[in-house]
Structure 1
Amino acid sequence: MRSGFRKKWDNLNLKVESVFRKRKYQKNAKIRLKRMDGGFNCDKAYEEVIIPYWKKYGYKPAKYWYQIFCDREQEIDPRYIPDDLYYGDMIPYFSNSQFRRFGEDKCYHDIWFADIKRPQTICKNIAGVFYDAEMNLITVKQAVDLCLDYKEEFLIKPSIDSGEGRLIEFFAPDKVTEKDIEKAFKDMEANFIMQASVKQHPVLSRLNPSSLNTIRVVSFFFEGEVHFLSSILRIGATNAKVDNVGAGGFACPVKMDGQLNDKAVNRKAEWVEENSIGIKFKDVRIPYFDKVIETIMQSHKKLAHFKLIGWDFSVDLEGDPVFIEFNVCPGSNQISCGPTFGDLTEKVLEEFFITRSLSNAQN
């Protein structure tokens, strides 16, 4: 058990981080609301439905969250979780942030997830030290040679904090040089991984062949059971190598059977029926989606420090789920998929505001 001083210090740090997160999301919400011309008019419902719903928890959410979240469906649902509450307080309560960077480090995925299919590792760098795929120590020269000897497309990316395709660099075997690899290593400095590019299933490739189009699933380990909360498919823009919305891609909600929703959202926050090459989202069903969900349900049980996880998967040519990465501070998916916790909302709020049974779990 931690000393009293250490525990107080850690709690103080968490409170400071919480304040900054809340301010960030409050500011973002107000900017978004201006772009939405005020969003959904919910003045009456806010007083008659939303405030009474939250009163039993001793909490009063700001009205602007419901102007944003309820705008798409044009109807009130008090179960939407305000972003400042979700990111500022609920995620730190349900997931231990002290383990985050270590737990998310892609260089350790072959240890944490040895029984799950992953992109082939060529070599990796952990805290400035190079290793091969079997975790044997190697020199920089040996790491460069391993990359040069690989005969198919591969990529180099940060092993920590690499969300939204940040700093990923792709290499073709017939064009890459020793200097290219050395420069990439120098630019990355430390904590990065070299992996083979994934050959995705034809259904996913057809949506956009230039990017790896990934399935983001949010799961919740609650009351001894792993719950599937929501899922979206991220599709890259034409000729883009990454699949995030900010780079011109699309995010489309996925139904329980793998069927895509009728509409997806783009970087302009527009809901559209087809992607940049004219494929209608409603005509697409993710192959072997049930296998992806089952893999996640089994894997999350082993990660009790993180009750909320956002998983990124693809499906390969053989129809197998391929694990890309996970995030223990996942997006809520509320704008695209509805209230984060769905039918679990009242149980979750009871735990968070009243029962607090996890209060000692982070000691």
Structure 2
Amino acid sequence: MVHSRAREILLTLYKHQHALRYQNEVKNLARQNRSLSIRPSSSYATRIDSFWKKYYGKSVNKFCHAVCASVNGIEDERYIPREIWNLEILPYLNRLALHDAYADKNAIDIFLEDFQAPITIFKKMNGIYYLSKNQPISRNTALKYLLEHGGTVIIKPSFSADGKNVKALYIQDNQIFVGDKPIPFERLDDAYGNDYIIQEKIVQHPIMHEIYPNSVNTLRMVTFRLKSKIYPLFTFARFGNRGGVVDNIGAGGLGCRINEDGNLNKYAIDKLGYKYERHPYSNYSFEEGRIPNINAYSDYVITLHHQLPYFDIVSWDIAIGLQAEPILIELNLVGDSTFYQMVSGPLFGSFTEELLEKIRDSPYRPSWHIKWKL
């Protein structure tokens, strides 16, 4: 009894501490972008309280509601506060104890079947080199394949976020270049350690290339399982910026909502919620863009999601190939709920009420962040 009570107290303190941290992250957005508000109007606040007390059993912090509405102009009670997403909803939906294994960029072809991905030259997993079909090879053979390939390739760590340490390499005359500087393979291999992958650079669809040519730009597509059926929640396009080779929002990229007909929204936003009607690098007008085959891409990621039984919400990064074919770059099992909602509106849309009731009434309220045994 004493042990159980102590565990309950520690869990409460832990969740309170992290809730404050997540709330401060949202407040920091408003500090860095003065056009954002963290205070909803009194009428909006009343609607928020009424909604959350009805479906969740208690009121919630309203910073996220105010910030998201400041960006997209949608005053909706169904926005999910960052702390509720991270501490309650995400661990309820996804088996996050398995997160690192499934998030490994080298392991996608182990967990998933029947998908197109960038061509792998070789990959290194737990210190061992492999070809694309997971056939082990020697270090010298890996280098041989790389030098014989030539041209531009992409190297990225297996475990990374926000495009960190994703680089373009250029292979010419049996030398490896980063930018215009040669780098010995031994130094490159040591820098990336035991887990990384080298792939061919994708030739992307003209519309994605025209908006921003220096990175492979992707569709961030989010799917959600409810009662064994999988639904598409929303899609936005991600574009690189500032001459960088990645489209990640955390690395300076932009996100632009895609409407159901495939048309881009009239503006994109950066990670702080600043709006851009034209891409600042290419001057492309976002509202003139249209993504081909958008419904086919939704069907594609739904099919993939059925192969992931331990995760009820998944974010997919899909590149559009030259012939408008979907190419899976990677999957994400966490996601930035605040940015998602700034760019696309309430995270779960019409599913929000049912999901909150399920969590409210569930006897199991996990907290995957706790790393110690209580």
Report the TM-score when normalising by structure 2. 0.86
- Contact 1:40–1:74 (CA<8 Å) still a contact in 2? no
Structure 2 Cα separation of the partners of residues 62 and 147 of structure 1: 52
Structure 1 position 133 matched with structure 2 position 140: no
Post-superposition Cα deviations, 1:171-229, rounded to whole Å, max 9, x if no partner, equal: 11226626532222100111111111111011111111111111101111111111111
Alignment of 1:200-211 (within 5 A): 200-211=204-215
Equivalent in 325, 328, 333 of residue 330 of structure 2:
325
Q: Which residue of 2 aligns with 1:146?
A: 145
What amino acid is the match of 1:328? L
How many angstroms apart in 2 are the aligned matches of 1:217 and 1:136?
31
1:129-172 CA distances to partner (integer Å, 9 max, x unpaired)? Answer: 11122222212111111111113321111112x22211112111
1:166 match: 164
Aligned residue for 2:95? 96
Q: 1:185 to 1:12 in 2, by over 3 A?
A: farther
Partner of 1:28: 25
Quote the residue 1:231 is aligned against: 235
The answer as to 2:345 corresponding to 1:352 is no
- The aligned counterpart of 2:342 is 335
SS of the equivalent of 1:163 reads coil
CA distance in 2 between partners of 1:152 and 1:75 (Å)? 46
- In the alignment, the residues of structure 2 paired with residue 199 and residue 97 of structure 1 have an alpha-carbon distance, to the nearest angstrom, of 34
Distance 1:13 1:171 in 2: 48
Deviations 1:264-292 (A, max 9, x none): 11355321211022111111111222222
Deviation string for 1:41-88 (max 9, x for gaps)? 524225521112111322221132222122235453111110110012
The answer on whether the counterparts of 1:216 and 1:311 sit within 8 Å (CA) in structure 2 is yes
Quote the Cα distance in structure 1 between the aligned partners of 2:202 and 2:14: 36
| Residues 72, 345 of structure 2: 8 Å contact kept | no
Q: 1:288 to 1:199 in 2, by over 3 A?
A: same
The 1:183/1:321 distance shift into structure 2, 3 A limit, reads same
The separation in 2 between residues aligned to 1:92 and 1:16, in whole angstroms, is 18
Residues 221, 304 of structure 1: 8 Å contact kept: no
Q: Does 1:193 align with 2:193?
A: no
Matched letter for residue 330 of structure 2: E
| RMSD between aligned residues | 2.6
Give the whole-Å Cα distance in 2 for the aligned partners of 1:350 and 1:267: 31
Paired with 1:306 and 1:283, the residues of 2 have a C-alpha distance of 35
| Contact 1:18–1:89 under 8 Å retained in 2 | no
Q: Which deviations, in whole Å up to 9, do the C-alpha atoms of 1:108-145 show, x marking residues without a partner?
A: 22222331000011111111111122222212111111
- Among 251, 257, 262, which residue is 2:266 paired with? 262
Tell me the residue number matched to 1:7. Answer: none
Structure 2 gap segments, 5+ residues each: 1-7, 177-182, 367-374
Give the secondary-structure state (helix, strand or coil) at the position aligned to 1:304: coil
Q: Distance in 2 between matches of 1:106 and 1:267?
A: 24
Q: 2:108 maps to what in 1?
A: 109
Q: Which residue of 1 aligns with 2:4?
A: none
TM-score, structure 1 length as denominator? Answer: 0.88
The equivalences for 1:293-332 within 5 A come to 293-332=298-337
Tell me if structure 1 keeps the 8 A contact 2:120–2:197. Answer: yes
Q: Distance in 2 between matches of 1:17 and 1:234?
A: 34
Distance across 2 between alignment mates of 1:145 and 1:15 = 55
Distance 1:326 1:137 in 2: 24
Deviates more, 1:178-187 or 1:208-217: 178-187
Residues 39-54 of structure 1 mapped to structure 2, 5 A cutoff: 39=37, 41-54=39-52
Structure 1 residues 27 and 97, CA gap change in structure 2 (3 angstroms):
same
When residues 17 and 296 of structure 1 are mapped into structure 2, their CA distance, relative to the original with a 3 A threshold, is farther
Amino acid at match of 1:171: L
Say if 1:322 and 1:282 are closer, same or farther in 2 by CA, change over 3 A: same
Q: CA deviation at 1:306?
A: 0.7
Task: Render the CA deviation track for 1:309-330: whole Å, top value 9, x for unaligned.
Answer: 1100101112210000001002
Seq. identity, %: 27
| Pair 1:18–1:259, CA change in 2 (3 A) | farther
Unaligned 5+ residue runs, structure 1? 1-10
Q: Write the distance in 2 (CA, Å) between the matches of 1:165 and 1:296.
A: 21
1:46 touches 1:63 (CA, 8 Å); kept in 2? no
